[in-house]
A and B are shown apart, each in its own frame.
Chain A
């Protein structure tokens, strides 16, 4: 996981961005499934949108139901796919990890964030923390 770049297909990027725009001004979230390529780079094959389970404050936070996520994880495992990371949107805020994001960031996984302004996605950026408690570094999205 030393490679600081991520190839993202046009179709998957569009799925994520349109999900973010659809949910605006609420935050959207979803899971990225895929595998690790022979060169060690993550390969994303599926974007699975997930319901935002935060009952309160959906405009500025998101969370996934851990048990539902585990069920989904097992389904995709049968197809040989594993969780490579997660996606969420920042309505009217930049696509950089917030304090809240950093508190929950799981080391080794990709965190893709879309910045949405006035209902339009303006950027998508990817972040990864290499070890527990370490600040996330940017992984360039191609």
Chain B
């Protein structure tokens, strides 16, 4: 049997180019070769005894590299060729390692189920296995969490941990499409888990009915490849961002407000983080939360779907993603754009000299202005019961409604003076400093800002905040005023 060796492999065989061997199978030929050239053993086989990837064996024009062919008779074959396999490729940027991808197998049902992914050249079987291998934590099973969780489950993500402390309310159903009316009063995490189970039984899903705190955040994201920030408040966003950067887990950030939304990726391989983009949250009360400011129903579907799409791209390792860039969209005028985010080298978290090294040691309450500071006088509050009895008893009290006009249309407060926060300082003369003034808004947060604003402007009269706002007051509002807009 004549064996011909490509010049590229001759260094293993003392530069021999052609040999005559006795063997009549590939196995025998290889055995003879390594006996003749003991040095060649290291060249041909890896530490596990497998033929190295760069070697191909051809019997004439037929590829017989696979070990299953090694005992086939080589009768009628004129020459055995030892050729190089020249191959390689650009690095793939998947956040899922090759080892974990290889552990996954897809059965016939999954091949049918994920057919439309397998048809895409960039995804194919390899990408689908990465999706199956992926472990994702979704923080928030509300408006953004609804599309994120459902699309990740439908795409075949292998493990999803859903974290949310709240229960489903009727008001959630306008945008939180993962829950139905039967889920009202159930924990959102459990309701979302059940939806996932209904999508794909093979997706492992954990429901954590808990608030994310500096004490539990690290364990909640532990073992995950990716975190989806679908939260609705600054404190949680900064906490998630910090925990992700410190744990080396990338985070897909999303936020919505009225008609507008934003998406970005933080903490991906040295990319910028939330603190590089927004070093500090806005003053509490200045920007209403979703619950207070409202959102148009499909907005969370659009923004959450983009978050899920970014997550899948990171998992598969394809396309251009939003690390170092911020996607913004205004659905009212249908405008969207992408702006660059620079990494801040002075960032206290991911900069050159980080000052935040543990989430437990950082005061998120104070950072987000939620803690009652000692220097500032706390704002005195009235409960809905107290305000109600004062009105009923005819005690003199000025009520100032600081809500926007469209909010007042929903529920009016009878006989209230209407002054938007922006006009308070210059219209303070309309208030009588001799009698108590009570400020009301929707949730009792903007009204605190109103009290502080007037105090700063020099107003000396007694001021109170209606605790819990109109939401807490709704059971006391005079029934003849409510019902039917």
* A contacts, CB < 8 Å to B: 27, 29, 31, 54, 56-57, 59-64, 66-67, 69-70, 73, 77, 82-83, 86, 88-94, 96-101, 103-109, 111, 131-133
Contacts and interface: CB of A to CB of B under 8 A. Distances in A.
B124 A83 contact: no
B177 to A, nearest CB: 35
Contact of A108 (B11, B61, B87, B98): B11
Given A91-B90, A106-B54, A132 B42 contact: yes
Contact of A70 (B6, B63, B89, B126): B6
B58 A67 contact: yes
Contacts of A97: 88
B83 A67 contact: yes
Given A59-B122, A67-B58, A70-B6, A104 B90 contact: no
Interface string B47-66: 10000111010100101000
Contact of B7 (A66, A73, A92, A99): A73
B43 A132 contact: yes
Contact of A99 (B83, B91, B121, B122): B91
A35 to B, nearest CB: 11
6 contacts: A63-B85, A66-B84, A70-B83, A100-B89, A108-B11, A132-B43
B89 A66 contact: no
A107 B43 contact: yes
Interface residues of B, number: 33
A54 B53 CA distance: 15
B252 interface: no
Contacts of B43: 107, 132
B92 interface: yes
B81 interface: yes
A83 B61 CA distance: 21
Contacts of A106: 8-9, 54, 84, 86
B83 A69 contact: yes
Contacts of B84: 66, 69, 106
Interface in B4-56: 6-9, 11, 42-43, 46-47, 52-54, 56
B42 A70 contact: no
Given A60-B92, A90-B91, A107-B43, A67 B85 contact: no
A105 B55 CA distance: 10
Given A66-B83, A67-B83, A104 B121 contact: no
Nearest to A111: B88
B54 A104 contact: yes
Contacts of A29: 86
A63 B83 CA distance: 13
Contacts of B88: 61-63, 88, 97-98, 100-101, 103-105, 111
A113 to B, nearest CB: 8
Contact of A104 (B6, B42, B85): B85
Contact of B98 (A31, A66, A92, A99): A99
Specify which of B7, B9, B61, B126 lies most central, judged by the most chain A CB atoms within 10 Å of its CB: B7
Interface in B77-116: 81, 83-93, 98
Given A67-B61, A133-B42, 6 more contacts: A66-B58, A66-B86, A67-B58, A88-B89, A97-B88, A98-B89
B6 to A, nearest CB: 6
